[in-house]
Structures are given as C-alpha cells and as structure tokens.
Amino acid sequence: MPTTTLTKTSFSIRDLAAEFDVTARTLRFYEQKGLLSPGRKGASRVYSIADRARLVLILRGKRVGFSLDEIGEMLDMEAITNQNPSALVDMLERFHERIDALNHQREDIDAAITELEAGRTWLEDRLAKREPSEEIKHRARAFEALAAARMNVWTGASPEPGSHDTTS
Amino acid sequence: MPTTTLTKTSFSIRDLAAEFDVTARTLRFYEQKGLLSPGRKGASRVYSIADRARLVLILRGKRVGFSLDEIGEMLDMEAITNQNPSALVDMLERFHERIDALNHQREDIDAAITELEAGRTWLEDRLAKREPSEEIKHRARAFEALAAARMNVWTGASPEPGSHDTTS
DNA sequence: ACTCACCTTTACGCGAACGTCAACGTAAAC
DNA sequence: GTTTACGTTGACGTTCGCGTAAAGGTGAGT
C-alpha cells in the first residue's frame, strides 16, 4: 500500500504554488502553454489531484532539462493517440532519443559531481592549513593541471541528442 | 596510460566549434563572459589544449543545468584563491549545495527515465497491435491513471537546493 | 458599506544565451 | 589581381521562462 497518502483532493493556485515553491504566475503560464488545465469555480482555478500530478511531472521535466514545449508533448499522450501510426513512430523515436539523452546526462552529472568533490576537498584543504599565498597559487595551478590531465579521459566532443553520433 | 590521445595541441575557432557542435559565436560569447581566454595569432583566436579542456567543463556544466556565470565562478579557482577565508567558506558551502543539487538531479533523471520507459512501452504496444480507436482512448486514459496512481509515491514538493531561501 | 485578502486577465519587461546581419581584415588559391 | 574561405568586432534581434505592474472582480469579516 501507499507510502504516503494525500489528505486534500483539490487545490487552489496558492496551495500548489506554496507546495512546489513556484509562483501563481508560473502556474497560469503553464496553463496558458497548455500544460495544465485546471477546473474553474467561478473565475478561480481549481486544481485536481491529477493536475497536481501533472505539475510534478512538469517540474521534474524542467529539472532534467526539458523545455516546456517538450514536456507538453510528452505529457499529452491522448493527443498522440489520435495521430496516425507514422506519427506514433516519430514519437517513439523521440522517446528513445530522450531516454538516451537522459542516460548520457546521468554520466555528465556523475562527472560533474566528481569534479565538484575534487574542488570541495581542494577548498577544504585550503581552509584547514592556511598556506602562504605563493603556495596557494601553486595549488590553484595544480587544480588546473588536474583538469588538463583529464583531457585524455574526456575523449572529446559530446554526443548531442538528436544526432547520428557514434559515441566513443 | 590514456584511453584516448589527442593529436592536435592547438585549435582554431572552427575546430572547436565543429568538434563540440557549437557555433563560433558561442565561443566568442564565452570568451566575452570570461569563461575562455584563448591566445591570438594576429587577430585570430588560437585555442590551447587547456582552453579546450575548459570548454569541455563549460559544456558539461551547461548540460547539468548550471548558468554560465556559475560555471565561470566554479572554473576560476585562481580568483577564489585570492579571496579571504570567509569567501572560501562561502564558496565551500555553495559547492556543497551544488553537489546536493546534482545528487537530487540524479534521482530526478532516474525517475524521468522510468516514466519515459513506461511511455515507450506504451507506444510500442500501441504500434504492435493496432486496436480500435475506442480502445486506444481507453489506454490513453490508463496512462494518465498510471500517473495519478503514482501520486502516493511522489509524496509532494521537491526539496530545493537552498532550503529556506526567499527567491523573489 | 468598507476593508482585506485573494483571485482574475492583459500586457509590457527582462535576463540569459545565443542568432544574425553588417562591415571589414587577411591569407591562401586560382 | 581577385575570388574564396575564414577570421574579426559591433550591434541589434530572438526565444524561453517567467516577473511585474495595472486594473479589476469576489467573497468573508467587521
């Protein structure tokens, strides 16, 4: 059974804004882009639990680097359904591309974390034993050198999403 | 024992642009922002192997969601070195935040991949056995329902990197 | 009735990250 | 010499993702 259960079943624009740390403007903007379509009580927006779910997906999509338009496409499966088979094939291909891109992005993230960790320990060392500024400069260059040394590992260009790349 | 070795040791603006699939304009822009500082041969830019290394870091930083300004700060360790200890502490804290954010982002990516995989299999099923459009619509709603069902797992808001910050 | 809090739409503004001319220099190739 | 290819520096244009008023509606509390 569920790990967590939600108490509420419908939300005001402020509810969601506060919960997900976005502004009301943002939610209206998403609606205007067709990403959300909350109900109305009078003129006021009323977000269902499904709207909230979509918002979660939207925000996560954003965090992993998708544009709002891309997110819109991916979310709107019903619209896809009404397409002809060839459109479905196109969409499928784009899903594959997306998945590949995300997998690649994971590697990027891991690499970035590694580098930040290196920078962190470097900073911590710096703080622990305050060496003369001459030595400091030397270390700074050492860090640059580290970057240069990794050249061999990096291999080179980045296979961008949507290209016919032969990933090294 | 490097996995790959680079033949060239200096590069033209076109070389790098082609290799990393960016425009020359982009490289000039990065230079203008202080992220790169290639040498000159006459008026033309000459990029060293270290410049190329920086570019790799810049592009990766971009892919994982950093702004160019942020990347600039992180890359410019020498400048940091000349700061006073308190500035170093600040920087260290920001490194920690960044690392946390990246770890969180990994989870997001994994979740996004899971969802895209779900969408993929759904699409593939759609293509395999072409059911009547009535059934199709039903399935479409099933996918939406799947999203709704996950609500319980999602728990809610995303813990953002600067916990209690008032980002107006 | 009046304030207050919260909602609405419309619309212009903005910073980031470039794109896209325009106008020009330069160096090798024909 | 002149065409071709590539380089340069401005400088303005564009897209995205909202921010920020401006002007007003709606219901609850006093």
Q: Are A101 and A43 members of one domain?
A: no
Question: Which among A81, A109, A148 has the least Cβ separation from residue B105?
Answer: A109
User: Residue B102 has what pLDDT?
Assistant: 92
CA A111/CA A115 separation, integer angstroms:
6
Final residue before a domain boundary, out of A40, A68, A96: A68
Interface residues, strand D, Cβ cutoff 7 Å: A 22-23, 25-26, 29, 42-43, 62, 67-69; B 12-14, 24-25, 28, 43-45, 168
Question: Which among A54, A127, A151 has the least Cβ separation from residue B6?
Answer: A151
Residue B27 lies in a domain: yes
CA of A6 to C1' of C7 (A): 25
Q: Which nucleotides of C are covered by protein (CB under 7 A)?
A: 6-11, 16-20, 26-27
Q: Are A107 and A146 members of one domain?
A: yes
Of B69 and A86, the structure prediction assigns the larger pLDDT to B69
CA of B149 to C1' of D29 (A): 40
The least confident of B18-32, B103-117, B137-151 is B137-151
Neighbouring residues of A129: CB distance < 8 A, sequence distance ≥ 6: none
Tell me if A154 and B127 make a contact (CB, 8 A cut-off).
Answer: no
CA of B137 to C1' of D23 (A): 43
Residue B16 lies in a domain: yes
pLDDT (tens, 9 = 90+) of chain A, 168 residues, equals 555 565 778 999 999 999 999 999 999 999 999 999 999 999 899 999 889 989 999 999 999 889 999 999 888 776 666 667 777 888 888 889 889 989 999 999 999 998 888 888 888 887 886 654 555 455 455 455 445 544 443 444 444 333 333 333
Pick the residue of A154, A164, A166 with the most B CBs within 10 A to test the interface with B by mutation.
Answer: A154
User: Residue B50 has what pLDDT?
Assistant: 87
Instruction: Tell me the average pLDDT across B70-97.
Output: 80
User: Residue B33 has what pLDDT?
Assistant: 95
**Residue span of the structural domain in which B122 resides:** 83-154
Smallest CA-to-CA distance from A146 within A110, A114, A106 is with A114
Residue of A nearest to B109 (CA): A64
Of B100 and B87, the structure prediction assigns the larger pLDDT to B100
Q: Is the pLDDT of residue B127 over 90?
A: no
Q: Are A98 and A123 members of one domain?
A: yes
Residue B2 lies in a domain: no
Which residues on chain A are in Cβ contact (under 8 Å) with B77?
A: 119, 122, 140, 143-144
Q: Are A52 and A104 members of one domain?
A: no
User: Residue A25 has what pLDDT?
Assistant: 97
Question: Which among B112, B136, B158 has the least Cβ separation from residue A20?
Answer: B158
Q: Are A64 and A94 members of one domain?
A: no
CA B53/CA B56 separation, integer angstroms:
5
CA B41/CA B12 separation, integer angstroms:
10
Residue A62 lies in a domain: yes
User: Residue B138 has what pLDDT?
Assistant: 52
CA A141/CA B78 separation, integer angstroms:
7
Q: Are B112 and B144 members of one domain?
A: yes
Instruction: Tell me the average pLDDT across B102-131.
Output: 84
Residue B3 lies in a domain: no
Q: Using N-to-C axis directions, what is the helix angle for B68-75 and B49-63, rounded to 10°?
A: 130
User: Residue A84 has what pLDDT?
Assistant: 72
User: Residue A151 has what pLDDT?
Assistant: 45
Q: Are B94 and B125 members of one domain?
A: yes
Name the band, by pLDDT with cuts 50, 70 and 90, for residue B73: confident
Mean pLDDT score across all residues of chain B? 77
Smallest CA-to-CA distance from A92 within B144, B107, B108, B128 is with B128
Neighbouring residues of B72: CB distance < 8 A, sequence distance ≥ 6: B33, B34, B35
Q: Are A97 and A36 members of one domain?
A: no
Q: Please, is A48 exposed, middle or buried when counting C-beta atoms within 10 Å of its C-beta (0-12, 13-18, 19+)? A: middle
Residue B89 lies in a domain: yes
CB atoms within 10 A of CB A102: 19
User: Residue B134 has what pLDDT?
Assistant: 54
User: Residue B78 has what pLDDT?
Assistant: 65
Domain count, chain B: 2
Instruction: Tell me the average pLDDT across B16-33.
Output: 96
8 A C-beta contact, residue A91 and residue A84: no
The least confident of A23-37, B21-35, B121-135 is B121-135
Q: Are A142 and A93 members of one domain?
A: yes
Q: Are B53 and B115 members of one domain?
A: no
CA A84/CA B99 separation, integer angstroms:
44
Name the band, by pLDDT with cuts 50, 70 and 90, for residue B81: low
CATH of the domain at A59: 1.10.1660.10
Q: Is the pLDDT of residue B149 over 50?
A: no
Residue A130 lies in a domain: yes
Residue A77 lies in a domain: no
* Highest mean pLDDT pick, A28-32, A52-56, B78-82, B104-108: A28-32
Q: Are B88 and B59 members of one domain?
A: no
Q: Please, is B58 exposed, middle or buried when counting C-beta atoms within 10 Å of its C-beta (0-12, 13-18, 19+)? A: buried
Q: Are B89 and B122 members of one domain?
A: yes
User: Residue B35 has what pLDDT?
Assistant: 94
